[in-house]
Each structure stands twice: as C-alpha cells, then as structure tokens.
Amino acid sequence: YAVVNAGLSGETSAGGKSRVNWVLSRQPVRVFVLELGGNDGLRGLPLADTRKNLQAIIDTVRQKAPQAKIVLAGMQIPPNMGPAYAADFKQLYADIATKNKLTLIPFLLENVGGIARLNQADGIHPTPEGHRLVARTVWRTVQPLL
C-alpha cells in the first residue's frame, strides 16, 4: 500500500475542502483518513463551519472515490478554549462519524495529547516518539480495513 500524506502544516478544514479534488486525482484511494479541524478549533472558528467543511470533504470522497473506506480522525482542543466549545468540538467528530457511518478514531492524539515528554515545546505537536504512538493509534483502526 502507498500512503500519501496530503496534509499541510496549519491546514484548516476549509483548506482541506479546497484541495480534496486534487488529492483524490493523484491516485486510486482505498482508504481515506480525514484528519482536519484541529486548527479550526485552536483558532476558535465556528463549529458549524468546521462541520460543513468536513461533510463536504466526505461527500466529495464518496462521489469521486466511492470504493474508498473513510476513517475520521477525531481531535480535541485544550480546555482554555472554553469548556462548552471544547466539549462541542469533541462531539462534532462522533456526530459526523455516526451520521455518515464512518470508522472513527475518537482522538488521534490518544496517549500523546497533554503528555509533555511526547510533545514539542508548543505543547501541541508530537515529538518523534509521540508520532510513533499516533501511528500505532491510526494503524489499529486502518489495518482491519485493508
């Protein structure tokens, strides 16, 4: 299997929506892992916009690559964004996955997020060891789909 990392540093769900057609045109897609929205949350963007953008990406994948299995990688944001916003942000991913019958990774940074030694100085981005743990989390979900 070839893995294509089409992510961009600082990408928002709106940016992903604008690039999804290009991503899908590069090669056939068997599994599409959608991991966007974290930067939306860190910027305090309206959750309705994030939801709309993620749904548009899912709809495009289903239209352009109907054979592809879609995995939605959920994110969480720090509580300093406000407890209601953080809770609603977390729930957004579960709601989208349920509505679209997607495979869900509840929290991409499981066992990494909030653990200082596994994150860079910014407290957000994983270190190499943190990335290894993230890869295991993703693999546990993706492997059965292959």
What is the number of other CB atoms lying within 10 angstroms of the CB of residue 89? 24
The residues near 87 (Cβ < 8 Å, ≥ 6 apart) are none
| Residue 68, pLDDT score | 97
| Residue 2, pLDDT score | 84
Mean pLDDT of 127-144: 97
The residues near 135 (Cβ < 8 Å, ≥ 6 apart) are none
Mean pLDDT of 73-99: 96
Q: Which amino acid is residue 13, in one-letter code?
A: S
| Residue 115, pLDDT score | 95
Domain boundaries, the chain: 7-69+91-104, 105-146
Per-residue pLDDT tens for 10-50? 999 999 999 999 999 989 999 999 999 999 999 999 999 99
Higher pLDDT, 130 or 5: 130
Residue 4 reports pLDDT greater than 90: no
What is the number of other CB atoms lying within 10 angstroms of the CB of residue 119? 18
Please report, rounded to a whole number, the percentage of residues in the chain having pLDDT higher than 90.
89
The residues near 34 (Cβ < 8 Å, ≥ 6 apart) are 16, 54, 57, 58, 61, 70, 71, 72, 73
* Alpha-carbon gap, residue 73 to 9, rounded angstroms: 16
Where does the pLDDT of residue 79 fall: very low under 50, low under 70, confident under 90, or very high at 90 and above? confident
CATH fold label, 7-69+91-104: Rossmann fold (3.40.50)
* Alpha-carbon gap, residue 74 to 121, rounded angstroms: 23
Where does the pLDDT of residue 134 fall: very low under 50, low under 70, confident under 90, or very high at 90 and above? very high
Where does the pLDDT of residue 119 fall: very low under 50, low under 70, confident under 90, or very high at 90 and above? very high
DSSP string for the chain = --------TT--HHHHHHHHHHHHHSS--SEEEE---HHHHHTT--HHHHHHHHHHHHHHHHHH-TT-EEEEE-----GGG-HHHHHHHHHHHHHHHHHHT-EEES-TTTTTTT-GGGB-TTSSSB-HHHHHHHHHHHHHHHGGG-
